[in-house]
Amino acid sequence: MYTVFTVKLNNRTKESNKHGVILCLLGFLFFHGGVKMVFDERYKEGNVRIPSGCAISGIFHKDGRKTDGRDIITSIEVMHERSNGLGGGFAAYGIYPEYKDYYAFHVFFDDNIVRKECESFLDTHFDVIDYGIIPTRKIDKITNEPLIYRYFLFPKESKLKSSQLDEKEFVVKSVMNINTNMNGCYVFSSGKNMGSFKAVGYPEDVGEFYKLDDYKAYSWTAHGRYPTNTPGWWGGAHPFSLLDYSIVHNGEISSYDANRRFIEMFGYKCNLLTDTEVITYMMDYLLRKKGLTLEETAEVIAAPFWDTIEKKDKEERERLTYLRTMFSSMLITGPFSIMLGFDGGIMALNDRLKLRSMVVGEKGEDVYIASEESAIKIVQKDFDNIYSPAGGEAVIVKLNEGVE
């Protein structure tokens, strides 16, 4: 005699690992308890939506040509099923030429009370050249939006002198101060001539919400989020930005706590409830503070295995050993693929075991990078070269010499 029941998996669950628990339990009952399972056809393998992770995409024009946000939105939309509507965002470079010498702060506010508190702080420490609400369009799929403002500013000369900090360090300290000490206020973009735009929603809806078809940039990155261990909220969406660095990330880093404890010793504060935040701060620390090259930074966070290092010639072995030893707490473990946007370039990088997919396509002066090949072929049909980088292999693309 059998117990008969129908299994219906919730294909919208936020915790996809529940699927595995349910199936393992039912499998045990099937083989050991005389249970007969009748599966609804809709929930057979191949018909169940279990996303394989976040989606990332990037478009870069080496000749400095600027395009609007329609292509990057189209690219990330192809990977709709890799995210679940709990976060989407974009970073764009070269979008504020009229204010290119000023830092552009993009800020979320819970209410006007904290907005006035933040503006008082900014007026005290910065010369604010212009400010206003970031233009958006109302769409049904983006709800509960905070107040979203933009400020073009530069540190006051008197404050720089009294602080004895250079302008970039002053800006970083100010961003950390605001994000740590002002409840209900978050500076989510702080670079020159660039901006991050993010929200809770699918990325294609976020792009429409922020009117990205009105912006023109030489570099675009995009992210569709499927959070696994952290909540979906506006501050937790990608990209994560600090100065001109922005990170979009697909994966889950198991070294987060070790990375966080190390980086917080140098004045950074991880307040935003996601592992990607720490990657952004490590990039700033290694590139700006320690002066490492992009290649060296990649060799720190996705360091070669020791047995690989041992096979190198003496000079290279000593160099890689130094990087692994000196920055051991900045090794990122776990599956990841990331794109780092920065002023004048972009870097894409996989974990050293390549546990997350990434493909690169090149066509003339244009470079396309995405989690899936379909996401780049939807916007460019014919490539000069298309390939999948090896684990730990940094793909670095910069503007051509002489291009500003």
The residues carrying an active-site annotation are 54
The per-residue b/e assignment along 152-177, b for 16 or more CB within 10 angstroms, e otherwise, is bbbbbeebbeeeebeebbbbbebbbe
d(Cα 203, Cα 221) in Å, to the nearest integer?
11
If one counts every other C-beta atom within 10 angstroms of the C-beta of residue 122, the result is 19
In 48-207, which ranges are E strands?
Answer: 55-61, 67-68, 88-93, 103-109, 126-133, 147-155, 185-189, 194-199
d(Cα 367, Cα 397) in Å, to the nearest integer?
8
The gap between the terminal CA atoms of the chain, to the nearest Å, is 76
Alpha-carbon Rg for the chain in angstroms: 23
Contacts (Cβ under 8 Å, ≥6 apart) of 10: 18
d(Cα 217, Cα 214) in Å, to the nearest integer?
10
Q: In this structure, are residues 216 and 126 in contact, taking their beta carbons and an 8 Å threshold?
A: no
Q: In this structure, are residues 196 and 339 in contact, taking their beta carbons and an 8 Å threshold?
A: no
If one counts every other C-beta atom within 10 angstroms of the C-beta of residue 27, the result is 12
At 39, list the tokens: 């599966």
If one counts every other C-beta atom within 10 angstroms of the C-beta of residue 99, the result is 17
Q: Provide the CA 382 distance to its chain's centre, in angstroms.
A: 27
d(Cα 209, Cα 142) in Å, to the nearest integer?
7
DSSP for 254-314, please give it.
Answer: TTHHHHHHHHGGGT----SSSTHHHHHHHHHIIIIIS---HHHHHHHHTPPPHHHHHTS-H
Distances (CA, A) of 200 to 53, 70, 234: 16, 19, 5
d(Cα 251, Cα 249) in Å, to the nearest integer?
6
